[in-house]
Structure 1
């Protein structure tokens, strides 16, 4: 699991299925899954995911990711979607009202979730496999426009990332 998005997805899965009380505990579980990450990066990932500490009935605290933690302003949603697309999108194809997105293995669910949370008006919903996301559009011929929109978001973010990495000022 080498991409940031895949790592974020795995962190979300671990937190939702376990009561994780510390970053150290989470690091150990990630290492078991062969996910290599530093404590500093894990801390940033938890912040990005909106993870918070909650108290259980017995008083112990553990990490949770609130369902509404991803309900941000539309501009931020689009920015998050653009970053996720830039990280994960390998290929785009379409037919009629269907768009097919290819990702690295294990990353399709994360991308589908990002698309669902972005609430694109032209998208009815998504279905994810291991490395493929099926996007269904409202318009019977909307696949071409949505495919183009997603491809452009990905390319713009990649270009932005390249310029930022190259800047030394």
Structure 2
């Protein structure tokens, strides 16, 4: 039997890397990863991860994970389950007006989405893969200023 923490991590990865529209789709995706759970268990897991629904540009609803900055107010030590709710950030490097953010596998898409929707005027846009985000920065902007702005989106950036 696989662990709950492993299941939650897998669920987080699935939601951040696919546009899953209903619990049936999520159950099937989990089953492909080796987790056979009931709809009730899935509902509890999704509630614990604070999963919500968002609308795509085409008007289709799909599941999304919450913005990581919501967890900054927690003053007590994190449990193992709460530690799963990290941004997945690993590193950031710059070259001129370009930056590359490395993440844990499956995290780049949701993190790039958060960056794009944070309204940082210094960043022109992002392109995300599975574990890498390419960012384009306005000309003349200091890299330290970008890192300072990104702290609002990626709490564990240094």
Q: Which runs of 5+ in 1 are unaligned?
A: 53-62, 71-75, 157-169
Q: Is the 8 A contact 2:10 2:30 kept in 1?
A: no
2: distance between equivalents of 1:42 and 1:119?
27
| Structure-1-length-normalised TM-score | 0.56
Which of 35, 47, 52 aligns to 1:49? It is 52
Q: Classify the secondary structure of the residue corresponding to 2:127.
A: strand
Shift of 1:150: 2.4
Does the alignment pair 1:65 with 2:62?
yes
Aligned partners of 2:16 and 2:106 also within 8 Å: no
Displacement after TM superposition at 1:126 (Å): 0.2
Shift of 1:151: 5.0
CA–CA separation in structure 2 for the residues paired with 1:139 and 1:151:
20
Q: Give the total of aligned pairs.
A: 131
Q: CA distance change for structure 1 residues 104 and 96 in 2, over 3 Å: closer, same or farther?
A: same
Q: What is the rounded CA distance, in whole Å, between the counterparts of 1:77 and 1:106 in structure 2?
A: 15
Counterpart among 64, 69, 74 of residue 79 in structure 1: 69
Q: RMSD over aligned Cα, in angstroms?
A: 4.1
Note the residue ranges of structure 2 that are not aligned, 5 or more in a row. 1-5, 73-84
Q: Are the structure 2 counterparts of residues 125 and 138 from structure 1 closer, same or farther at C-alpha, using a change threshold of 3 Å?
A: same
- Normalising to structure 2: TM-score of the pair? 0.59
Identify the structure with the greater helix proportion: 1
Instruction: Point out the structure with max Rg over C-alpha.
Output: 1
For residues 43 and 127 of structure 1, do their structure 2 counterparts lie closer, same or farther at Cα, with a shift above 3 Å needed? same
8 Å CA contact retained: 1:125, 1:136: yes
The corresponding residue for 1:14 is 20
